[in-house]
Chains A and B, each alone.
Chain A
């Protein structure tokens, strides 16, 4: 792409300004604050439009920054450029209420809406982010040596791994890792909490289990006890039976004595007439009556005793039965308790192995990390070596062959190879670091913009260059046949270009007093 002409109608502080550019070197010269950056932003905004920020951020976004104070409705301009061997005219008005974009093919006369894809087609692989990374080259920001080295190494690594020098891949990965760690810790804590609850139930189950064992033991004892009782019952029943047989024998005896008594009385009263005989028979009768009374007395006592024994027996039996029942009821209750605890235990088990919300986050973060790793690896494979090789070539050319090769190891440490030795970046002067940086940006520009070369905007990049280095770079730029816009606030570049006889066009920001 070659920019032919800019016509800025209203953009930031610039009004109605037209600039014609050459396909070679253009020097945009002006004091600080004279509007050079505005020109850069104009070019970019023409190509990519202005994406508005939302919410609070919109107060300081690009749109607001470059919105003209007067005539805000007339916000934009026109740019003529050549792309893929065709001439175009691009006109835009950024005004938010009535945005307008028109792309005219000057060759075919076709007019299209630039925002509806026609411009994207022309720009091809050069997205806004790629443009930011390759077309517009600023100065290294760091001031001191070590920071500078780190910055440069980051640039190289980012270009290789992300194609975007504004992305700090290591920081991004670290951020994801930390977030994942946070969720991991939370998840672990929740699981521990669940485990604790489950352990409690488990302990409870053990306790109930022990109780069940105890009850079983008691049941056993009770059984023995009742067997013992049974034996005693059998014994006592024996006694009862004996007592019963004794009773019946006694009844027989009583019957016998009653008969004897009756016979004696009959004999005494009616048979025997003689007194002595009568008295003797009556005596025997009375004696048997006495014996009978005695017997009856004994029998009564025995009966009472037997009844007592029987009662005791019954009571003991009932007591034993009651206890047996009570124990088996207790056992049943404990078993139920145990069963319920087991069900609860299982619920925790299920919960433990169910998915937590944290796990979703952890999985998502892992997927993000893996995907970034994978895609970045692919990018390194695609670009990494080419970028290093092309950087080396450019570096060699602008230093007149002093440095032949740029090297980068696994830890992303960079060094340069001279004819004789390898020198780590830390040992190089700021000037040389700037040269490596320049070579890197140029190489990136070529690699990332694809087949159609894009202009390069060098924004105050040569401040730290000595004369020799600057000449080397300018010479290389003129040989490369790329459109270059050198943006500067000093006249050094122009003086050197004049001195070296390199053709260029001046684009003064202020009207020059010549």
Chain B
């Protein structure tokens, strides 16, 4: 037995609105989904489990048709599908009356239903969102049925407003595998027993690291799962460590090199750390122009020794200014203010 566990594809999402690559990313989300289906067509699995949020919003009929067509190209694979909080089954949802291809089973109900796979001794449990939020843990106390075989739970959620489920309890209750969706970062919660597959394509800059899906198969009667990368690009963070020798030019050069080395296709967040020469007037905006840079966050500090300065300038305005910010915890804004002021005063 072999299956693929997929979730949070978010078809129709438009990542990084306002950035040059935004519409390309929208297409790439579809592209990666097609590629996964294509992969299944060439090397069929028994089951494709989709744990919610296949669509970013309410699916349009043509989108459903497109997806259904793709499902129809893998007739040897049974597709088990639930709706998540993004594509929840609204009262006028197209999900309600859509006629799926024969190999697709869509869980329409908001309470957990169980179906037995027609070919294997596998029982699939699932439920869909019919509301934007489900604040109760509707899975509390859920137990698998008596049937002999493997019991797989398909669920979407895991935070306070989206089914605050307890994975350990569910696993302990006897589910052999819990295929989760909702959290976009792939995360194997219990080895071979429960996982968030994560979004196959990352959707924004917070979703760094590899993205793809989970593949499961039985080896000698035991289930083994593994993460399979599938994303076309990833969001990465580049940290530039400044020192007193750093200049605008040297930073631009370094960033260019690092982007090239890390893959020019990836999307970057740039973080400036360390200390910089007090007379360096940094223009982060210019670093943003260097390619797929989403934003530049400047945490670098002018290389002032505040305690020494405070002693040196005691009794003058600069000293008073340093005193004003000294000996207390500063908010990020206050810390910035401190350095801005000192830089202005001491030139």
Contacts and interface: CB of A to CB of B under 8 A. Distances in A.
Interface string B148-175: 0000000000000000000000000000
A151 interface: no
A48 B312 CA distance: 8
Given A172-B347, A175-B344, A375-B320, A364 B17 contact: no
Contacts of A333: 60-62, 94
Interface string B265-296: 00000000000010000000100000000010
B244 interface: yes
Main SS of chain A's interface residues? helix
A335 interface: yes
Nearest to B296: A357
Interface in A315-348: 329, 332-333, 335-337, 339-340, 343-344, 347-348
Interface stretch (B177-185, B224-232, B249-257, B332-340): B332-340
Contacts of B243: 55
Given A364-B340, A379-B320, A54 B244 contact: yes
B312 to A, nearest CB: 4
A360 interface: yes
A168 B318 CA distance: 11
A372 B333 contact: no
The interface centre, meaning the residue of A120, A336, A448 with most chain B CB atoms within 10 A of its CB, is A336
A344 to B, nearest CB: 8
A448 B315 contact: yes
B75 interface: no
A448 B14 CA distance: 63
Nearest to B243: A55
A375 B322 CA distance: 11
B298 to A, nearest CB: 9
B314 A364 contact: no
Contact of A371 (B12, B92, B94, B321): B321
Nearest to A130: B315
B18 A197 contact: yes
Given A364-B340, A371-B324, A339 B58 contact: yes
Given A55-B303, A129-B316, A167-B316, A365 B337 contact: yes
A163 B317 contact: yes
A51 interface: yes
A248 interface: no
Interface in B44-69: 57-62
B58 A179 contact: no
A125 B315 contact: yes
Contacts of B345: 162, 167, 172, 372
Say which size band chain B's interface belongs to.
35 or more
A364 B324 contact: no
Interface in B9-31: 12, 14, 17-18
A295 to B, nearest CB: 53
A129 B319 contact: yes
Contacts of B324: 371, 375
Interface string B320-331: 110010000000
B297 interface: yes
A55 B244 contact: yes
A365 B345 CA distance: 13
A459 to B, nearest CB: 20
Say which size band chain A's interface belongs to.
35 or more
A172 B336 CA distance: 16
A128 B313 contact: yes
Nearest to B63: A336
The interface centre, meaning the residue of A55, A161, A176, A365 with most chain B CB atoms within 10 A of its CB, is A55
A78 interface: no
Contacts of B17: 197, 347-348, 351
Contacts of A337: 60
B312 A128 contact: yes
A357 B321 contact: no
A364 B336 contact: yes
A291 interface: no
Contact of B311 (A127, A179, A375): A127
A421 interface: no
A240 to B, nearest CB: 35
B146 interface: no
A230 interface: no
A404 to B, nearest CB: 29
Contact of B317 (A126, A357, A361, A376): A376
A372 B321 CA distance: 7
Contacts of B219: none
The interface centre, meaning the residue of B62, B308, B332, B337 with most chain A CB atoms within 10 A of its CB, is B337
A235 interface: no
Contacts of B315: 125-127, 129-130, 163, 448
B18 A194 contact: yes
Given A336-B58, A340-B58, A367-B333, A176 B318 contact: no
B340 A365 contact: yes
B317 A364 contact: no
A460 interface: no
B39 interface: no
A479 interface: no
16 contacts: A55-B243, A126-B315, A129-B314, A163-B317, A163-B319, A194-B18, A339-B57, A343-B57, A348-B17, A368-B338, A368-B340, A368-B341, A375-B317, A375-B320, A375-B324, A376-B317
Given A368-B337, A372-B344, 13 more contacts: A56-B277, A120-B311, A126-B315, A127-B316, A129-B312, A129-B315, A129-B316, A129-B319, A336-B58, A344-B14, A348-B17, A364-B335, A375-B317
Interface of B: 12, 14, 17-18, 57-62, 90, 92, 94, 243-245, 277, 285, 295, 297, 303, 308, 311-321, 324, 332-338, 340-341, 344-347
The 10 tightest CB contacts between A and B, nearest first, are A55-B244, A364-B336, A127-B314, A162-B317, A368-B341, A164-B316, A367-B337, A163-B316, A172-B344, A128-B312
